[in-house]
Amino acid sequence: MRESCYADYLESIYEYKEDRAQQEAFIEKLKDGFAMQIMDVANCKLIDYHSFKDMLHGEWHFKDAYEYFTNLVSEYADED
């Protein structure tokens, strides 16, 4: 991921394994929404891109930052 205020963010989401079950589990995870999560962030559907990158600049991982902002947005929506 790139953003002008930060160095590029790179996170390995999958490492090739010869174990077919592990490969299939990752493909299912991708089908079950991980690809959509990436698109939500890229299209700023969850929060602005810069704020998301702020979280990744520290010790956060993509999944953790996504869940944090999902919960935050959900709490905000519940208040309305």
Q: Supply the pLDDT for residue 63.
A: 87
Q: How far apart are CA 80 and CA 51, in angstroms?
A: 22
Residue 2 CB partners (closer than 8 Å, separation 6+): 8, 9
Percent of the chain with pLDDT strictly greater than 70: 92
Domain map (residue ranges) of the chain: 20-79
pLDDT tens track for 9-36 = 777 777 778 899 988 888 888 787 788 8
Report the mean per-residue pLDDT for the chain. 81
**pLDDT given for residue 47 in this prediction:** 84
